């Protein structure tokens, strides 16, 4: 089961948006770990896709390191994030096809907006249905 609305700390959202901004020409990607106490951690992972402007592929060794760090910190995989430098913040057909973590949320950042960054959250269900999750922000 999944939540229809999630709340993330402003600090985490700012960190993810900053990562997308400093690599504005290429998609950025990574994991968000979460402890039971609602503490979140961002784990950036290098994008090694052949076409990083329109695709992301996580570097396997960094992906494994991030998952190990989550396990060592007693965190679970909460979300996978990535950016779309020139596309809307919705899952692309490739995002849907390549989704391999059915229990995770998917955070997508669009840089294809004028003066404002857009972040949206989705749940990619087993039957290829896509559900948008209401995303809100809390102050620390």
Order of strands, sheet of 130-138, starting from the edge strand that comes earlier in the sequence? 5-9, 130-138, 118-124, 105-110, 76-84, 29-34, 40-45
Q: Which sequence spans correspond to the domains of the chain?
A: 5-138
Residue 127 has pLDDT above 70, yes or no: no
What pTM does this model have?
A: 0.93
User: Closest Cα partner for 119 from 82, 93, 78?
Assistant: 82
The CATH number of the structural domain formed by 5-138 is: 3.40.140.10
| Averaged pLDDT of the chain | 92
pLDDT digits (tens, 9 = 90+) for 58-69: 999 999 999 999
């Amino acid at each position: 089961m999944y939540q229809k609305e999630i709340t993330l700390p402003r600090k985490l959202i700012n960190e993810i948006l900053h990562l997308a901004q400093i690599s504005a020409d290429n998609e950025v990607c990574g994991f968000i770990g979460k402890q039971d106490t609602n503490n979140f951690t961002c784990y950036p992972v290098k994008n090694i896709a052949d076409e990083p402007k329109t695709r992301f592929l996580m570097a396997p060794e960094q992906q494994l390191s991030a998952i190990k760090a989550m396990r060592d910190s007693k965190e679970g995989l909460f979300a996978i994030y990535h950016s779309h430098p020139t596309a809307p913040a919705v899952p692309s057909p490739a995002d849907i096809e390549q989704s391999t973590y059915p229990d995770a949320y998917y955070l997508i950042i669009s840089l294809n907006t004028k003066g404002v960054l857009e972040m949206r959250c989705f749940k990619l269900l087993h039957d290829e249905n896509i559900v948008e999750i209401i995303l809100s922000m809390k102050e620390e």
